[in-house]
A and B are shown apart, each in its own frame.
Chain A
């Protein structure tokens, strides 16, 4: 009697979670995996095969974009980490009371607007007729309008901006829990600033660093709007290829194959990152 009631409540509690996982995560991905191995012979005949995957490797544009997206995502993640660490240090260790809340809020505010609006904000600043260009001309540092959009730097700026909060939050959380005496002990035993950072602070913050990096890397790798809007037509982000296959070319089989490959790439990179830093997923995700 009692245990059946307990079981019922357990089932009821788990149902939304299971529905979410099965319907929205598991099923679509399995479906995508299935579609990716189907080769369309004619308009109504499908056979099993790996032609889509062969296309990926034989068509250099596909895998080059794939590699480029991966490399730029790694770079973006590292840059985000470099920028976020001092910010997180300041919020967690130096700021007190109100200042702390305000700083956190300042990191959060941009996320009240959608990614689209945030990206347009950057475009207003960076475009040929934008603010920066106008200021540079007014100062007389350049002769004509300067186009700062539609290059890799612009894409990375946008991506770092989007990822910053997701790096700052886990870093603040881990740094917050660090005993101030650990830093002092680091100095007391003869360490300089760099040694203390390298030997004491970073190892302590490692779970936060890794979890922040995983989130930012995933977000960057899978982002679509920012590379398109700030990188222009030639930005060559892998998600664009998937979009093109599904929507423009209506080639679901190819799109599904590329999607599976992207998922594989991101999982591989996360696994590699965990291995290299000696962290476990359980520890990192708390």
Chain B
């Protein structure tokens, strides 16, 4: 690889009894990037992070940080620092002492230590708070102290374990943007784990979607959203509607699917396990669904639906429609041009097959 990578893992495995928490994971994080690991709870992402931090040892595989093999290096000797889920600020120390803790361990002299503490507090936007107790700070401020405590040590790698989970929604939105800016400003490589796809999408350069100990896909957020590699990614990243049926034809990278209630629809082939006559799932995003008037393209797939309810949420307003007992969500046009959508009214939903993705149904 041309770019020097700060972290690379080769075939990492960690087992707990019969349960394989991390199953043969390899990854490569270029220096200075924001790398997120996104997955539902229990997918093994925390275990992976603890392997990187050194709190746990892999059963197989290598962890290499800037060219150095780290497997046998204890956590206090690794060039890696971690922001914990509940931050783990030392409650018996002031903000300044919390930040000084790591510097003292490196025997940084007092005068320099104070200079560094002041500077890092300024960088995270908390100038002059060194004498406060962590308990006196707000959630967002504590968050920044936890970051400052790690960043002052200039680690090669900063690990973040869902640190935004405890914040309320508004603050979380704000911290997302801020974290991204801080990462650019410090230039440190961030490895961020979360179950919240919006956090991962907004902040990251690269996102790895993790499921059952494996990576389903590693890609930039937009690729993940537009070109999901697996049905799991399609369903987990962003909102999506899933329609099940049977493949009737495959041609020009388009698959025609006969849905279970008889309608014939089409979408782009996305998985390799598609075969005529096999079961398949078609994924179509709410914003790709259009309400039919006339003048629709011939190629578009159409479905008859009934309005169940309107879900008003500002720019993200949707309708919940019913297609043969299955709920389907469609985004309302931003300009309010949608026809009167009274409950129980019938309408036709249509989409460009290029925007839908068809995967072979997963064997359960």
Interface residues of A (CB under 8 A from B): 179, 181-182, 184-192, 195, 199-200, 203-204, 206
Residues of B within 8 A of A186 (CB): 90, 101
Cβ contact of B90, chosen from A185, A187, A190, A192, cutoff 8 A: A185
Determine whether the beta carbon of A192 is less than 8 Å from that of B84.
Answer: no
Q: Which 8 A-B pairs have the closest CB atoms?
A: A190-B105, A203-B92, A181-B88, A189-B102, A185-B88, A181-B84, A187-B75, A187-B76
Contact B82 A185 (CB under 8 A): yes
Among B53, B92, B93, B106, the residue within 8 A (CB) of A188 is: B53
Q: With contacts A181-B88, A182-B88, A184-B55 known, is A191 near B101, CB below 8 A?
A: yes
Contacts of A184 in B (CB 8 A): 53, 55, 75, 82, 84, 88
Contact yes or no, B91 A188, CB < 8 A: no
- The residue in chain B whose Cβ has the minimal distance to the Cβ of A196 is B76
Q: How far is the CB of B266 from chain A (nearest CB, A)?
A: 51
- When the two chains form their complex, are residues B149 and A189 in contact, meaning their CB atoms are under 8 A apart? yes
Instruction: Give CA–CA (A200, B92) in the complex, Å.
Output: 8
B86, CB-defined interface residue at 8 Å? yes
A189: chain B residues within 8 A (beta carbon)? 76, 81, 101-102, 105, 149-150, 153
**A187: which B residues are within 8 A, CB to CB?**
55, 74-76
Q: Could you tell me which residues of chain B, from 84 to 106, have a CB within 8 Å of some CB in chain A?
A: 84-86, 88, 90-93, 101-102, 105-106
Known: A188-B54, A188-B81, A200-B92. 19 other contacts (CB 8 A): A181-B84, A182-B88, A184-B55, A185-B84, A187-B55, A187-B74, A187-B75, A188-B53, A188-B55, A188-B75, A188-B82, A189-B81, A189-B101, A189-B105, A189-B150, A199-B93, A203-B90, A203-B92, A204-B92
**Chain A interface, >50% SS class:** helix
- 12 of the cross-chain contacts (CB-CB < 8 Å) are A179-B88, A181-B86, A184-B75, A184-B82, A184-B88, A187-B75, A188-B55, A188-B76, A189-B81, A199-B90, A199-B101, A200-B92
| Complexed CA–CA distance, A246 and B84 (Å) | 62
* A188, A199, A200, A204, most chain B CB atoms within 10 A: A188
Decide: A191 near B76, CB < 8 A? Known: A181-B85, A184-B55, A185-B84. Answer: yes
In the complex, what residue of chain B is closest to A206 when comparing beta carbons? B92
Name the interface residues of B199-218: CB closer than 8 Å to any CB of A: none
Within 8 A of A (CB), among B47-84: 53-55, 74-77, 80-82, 84
Question: Within 8 Å CB of B106, what residues of A?
Answer: 190
Distance A78 CA – B88 CA, assembled complex (angstroms): 30
Question: Using Cβ atoms and an 8 Å threshold, which residues of chain B touch A179?
Answer: 86, 88
Whole-angstrom distance between the Cβ of B157 and the nearest chain A Cβ: 12
What distance in Å separates the Cβ of A149 from its nearest Cβ neighbour in chain B? 43
| A206 CA / B106 CA spacing, docked (Å) | 26
Q: Mark B316-332, 1 if CB is under 8 A from A, else 0.
A: 00000000000000000
Residues on A with C-beta less than 8 A from B81 are 188-189
Closest to A195 in B: B105
A76 CB to nearest B CB, Å: 27
Question: Please, which residue of chain A has its CB at the minimum distance from the CB of B99?
Answer: A189
In whole angstroms, what is the CA distance A185 to B82 when docked?
Answer: 7
Alpha-carbon distance between A192 and B84 when the two chains are bound, in angstroms: 19
Which B residues lie within 8 Å of A181 (CB)? 84-86, 88
A203 to B93, CA, bound (A): 9
Q: How far is the CB of A245 from chain B (nearest CB, A)?
A: 46
